[in-house]
Amino acid sequence: MSGPAAGTASAATTTDVVCLGESMVTFLPSQPGRLADVPSFGRGIGGAESNVACALAAAGHRAAWVGRVGADGFGEHLVETIAGYGVDTSAVRRDPVRPTGIYFRTATDRGTDTHEVAYYRAGSAASAMSPANVPYEELFAGRILHLSGITAALSADCLALLRELTAPRPGRPLVSFDVNHRPHLWRGGDVDASVLLELARRSDLVFVGEDEAEEAWGIVGAEAIRAAVPEPSVLVVKRGSAGATVFSGPRPAPRSSNAGGAESGPAPHSGEGGGVESGPASRSGEGGGAEVVTHVPALRVDVVAAVGAGDAFAAGFLSATLRGLPVRDRARHGHLMAAAVLTVPGDLTEPPARDHADRLAALDDDAWGRLRLGPGWTAADRAPEEVRTP
């Protein structure tokens, strides 16, 4: 049973981005320390795909989240909170039997040895998503369909669903896929994380971290990742503090599945680049054209909490893609959206005003390299030269 639709925020006729995946109620510690020592927790929400939907809606786009929650209070809280960001939740289903997933985490950086996360998601409502019970009409209603590798790890049915959604078909929207490798989700299963490579190769726009590619696939370096994932029109390799490398341009053959989707190649821009670090470089593409490789340095950020940055980067990049901005500026908007989340305690925050972000994204390479953003920067409405620099 797919259950009745949950939520009241209704989509506009044309949706920009539809995001599919599990969202969970997250319990955030009241103080630093081990989970065993934390006396109390505050309630929030967490989920890679719903985070992207919320960030896009906050940035002024028409975003929808499709998922499955339990017929319980936690599911109600999720749907109401996500809808409160302006996200269409009308296609979310309630499962009458399975619960909404929850998790607890410590206040430390996810990348450190002291970080702890306790998930209670096995057998969750979202893990029951399958090709037989999702609303395809709503999933294919947007210009972009955004997916992540987390969903593929939840169950065999969820993996079958992602294979179905990434399969070539007429009228398929542009498929955006964030690899989002979570090692703990793949332990002890019948399928390993190598399946994420298969899903990435079937997508149109792919986000992957260098560290993820090495851990999941044993592939090291941006060029090697591109060689292993040649099919997507746009491949974004996230390189941590080194920034991002974007591969874009002609591919072996146009994808019929892009019909009706947002542009996936770089928009013309006479001023793009200009420096070794952030300018594009051309190389011969497999289809006889020139592929563009664009390196965009990361910003210097006074980090408050290192959570949610990857989802925010994807949202910023997708937002700029929907607007037809050049590749360099797409990556810069990704960095700016990530900086907004990094300077607050939670996974979600109000993004900078569009004109403010546009001014920063348009800075020359030297000014971009001098930027240092700290807490409260998104509320500023200053000329670029007034942004705090060291």
HEC readout, the chain: CCCCEECCCCCCCCEEEEEECCCEEEEEECCCCCCCCCCCEEEEEECHHHHHHHHHHHCCCCEEEECEEECCHHHHHHHHHHHHCCCECCCEEEECCCCCCEEEECCCCCCCCCCCEEEECCCCCHHHCCCCCCCHHHHCCEEEEEEEHHHHHHCHHHHHHHHHHHCCCCCCCEEEEECCCCHHHHCCCCCCCCHHHHHHHCCCEEEEEHHHHHHHHCCCCHHHHHHHCCCCCEEEEECHHHCEEEEECCCCCCCHHHCCCCCCCCCCCCCCCCCCCCCEEEEECCCCCEEEEEEECCCEECCCCCCCHHHHHHHHHHHHHHCCCCHHHHHHHHHHHHHHHHCCCCCCCCCCCHHHHHHHHCCCHHHHHHCEECCCHHHCCCCHHHCCCC
Report the pLDDT averaged over residues 184-192: 78
CB 180 within 8 A of CB 310: yes
Q: Round the average pLDDT of the chain to a whole number and report it.
A: 85
Q: Is 311 designated active site? A: yes
Pairing mode, strands 15-20 and 63-66: parallel
Tens digits of residue pLDDT in 237-276: 999 999 999 999 865 443 433 433 344 333 333 333 333 2
CA distance 251 to 76: 44
Q: Which residues contact 379 (CB under 8 A, 6 or more apart)?
A: none
Confidence of residue 389 (pLDDT cuts 50, 70, 90): very low
Confidence of residue 304 (pLDDT cuts 50, 70, 90): confident
Higher pLDDT, residue 20 or 348:
20
Q: Which residues contact 117 (CB under 8 A, 6 or more apart)?
A: 103, 104, 105, 106, 110, 184
Residues counted in the chain: 390
For a pLDDT cut of 90, what percent of the chain falls above it?
69
Question: pLDDT value at position 12?
Answer: 41
Q: Which residues contact 10 (CB under 8 A, 6 or more apart)?
A: 88, 90
Question: pLDDT value at position 251?
Answer: 52
Question: pLDDT value at position 266?
Answer: 34
CB 388 within 8 A of CB 372: yes
Q: Which of 66, 76, 75 is nearest to 99 (CA)?
A: 75
Question: pLDDT value at position 260?
Answer: 37
Report the pLDDT averaged over residues 79-94: 97
For a pLDDT cut of 70, what percent of the chain falls above it?
82
Report the pLDDT averaged over residues 151-168: 96
pLDDT for 384 beyond 90: no
Which member of 16, 88, 311, 329 is catalytic?
311
Question: pLDDT value at position 106?
Answer: 83
pLDDT for 42 beyond 70: yes
Q: Which residues contact 137 (CB under 8 A, 6 or more apart)?
A: none
pLDDT for 115 beyond 80: no
Confidence of residue 74 (pLDDT cuts 50, 70, 90): very high
Please, what sign has the CA dihedral across residues 255, 256, 262, 263?
A: positive
Per-residue CA distances from 76 to 63, 66, 175 (Å):
19, 14, 28
Report the pLDDT averaged over residues 351-359: 95
Report the pLDDT averaged over residues 52-64: 97
Beta bridge partner(s), residue 178? 148, 207
Tens digits of residue pLDDT in 133-154: 999 999 999 999 999 999 999 9
Token output for 48 = 């890679």
Report the pLDDT averaged over residues 163-179: 95
Q: Which of 156, 150, 146 is nearest to 176 (CA)?
A: 146
CA distance 207 to 318: 11
Report the pLDDT averaged over residues 176-182: 95
pTM, entire model = 0.85
